[in-house]
């Protein structure tokens, strides 16, 4: 989870919403990393989780990330949950809740619904305070810059 937080700091450095993600294989080896890069890449799908999944899929030459675990600093959104299910991610560990778009426990529960053909183990709250502090720092800075 610390490596995911390191990725979030990279997003912060590039003035992106500071979310970071890491994918590890069943041996615990990192096979994909990502940080939010929607503005930098002009890509609405440029979420940390999606970027990490794409890198991991490329490394193992398979879009199915069987037996892989996703660590992410913020509760995933609808798009990232869908991609995790399609990729067959085994487990998701996330930092802080996302009260606006979180789709594991905050806004809805899209994980492990009976209509899904894949179940994902989930645990939240890992390094939640550090993840939340970084997000608050970012948005406080943005409000000053944007004069909100």
Distance CA 52, CA 23 (A): 6
28/148 Cα distance (integer angstroms): 43
Q: Which of 16, 49, 67, 75 is catalytic?
A: 49
Q: Is 77 annotated as a binding residue?
A: yes
Q: DSSP alpha helices (H): ranges in 14-127?
A: 38-41, 48-60, 78-87
Any catalytic annotation for residue 49? yes
**Vertex 36 angle, CA 31 and 41, to 5°:** 100
Residue 94 pairs with which residues in a beta bridge?
72, 124
For helices 2-13 and 128-146, the axis angle rounded to 10 degrees is 10
Confirm whether residue 47 is marked as ligand binding: yes
> Which residues does residue 21 pair with via DSSP β-bridges, in sequence order?
34, 72
Q: Which residues are annotated as a binding site?
A: 47, 77, 80
The set of catalytic residues is: 49
Q: Which residues are annotated as a binding site for Zn(2+)?
A: 47, 77, 80
């Amino acid at each position: 989870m610390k490596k995911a937080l390191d990725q979030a700091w990279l997003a912060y450095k590039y003035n992106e919403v500071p979310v970071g993600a890491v994918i590890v294989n069943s041996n615990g080896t990192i096979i994909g990393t990502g940080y939010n890069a929607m503005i930098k890449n002009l890509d609405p799908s440029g979420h940390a989780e999606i970027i990490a999944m794409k890198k991991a899929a490329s490394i193992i030459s398979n879009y199915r990330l069987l037996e892989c675990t996703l660590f992410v600093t913020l509760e995933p959104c609808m798009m990232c949950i869908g991609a995790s299910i399609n990729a067959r991610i085994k487990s998701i560990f996330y930092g802080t809740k996302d009260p606006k778009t979180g789709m594991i426990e905050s806004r809805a529960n899209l994980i492990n619904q009976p209509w899904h053909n894949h179940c994902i183990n989930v645990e939240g709250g890992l390094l939640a305070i550090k993840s939340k502090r970084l997000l608050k720092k970012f948005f406080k800075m943005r409000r000053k810059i944007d004069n909100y």
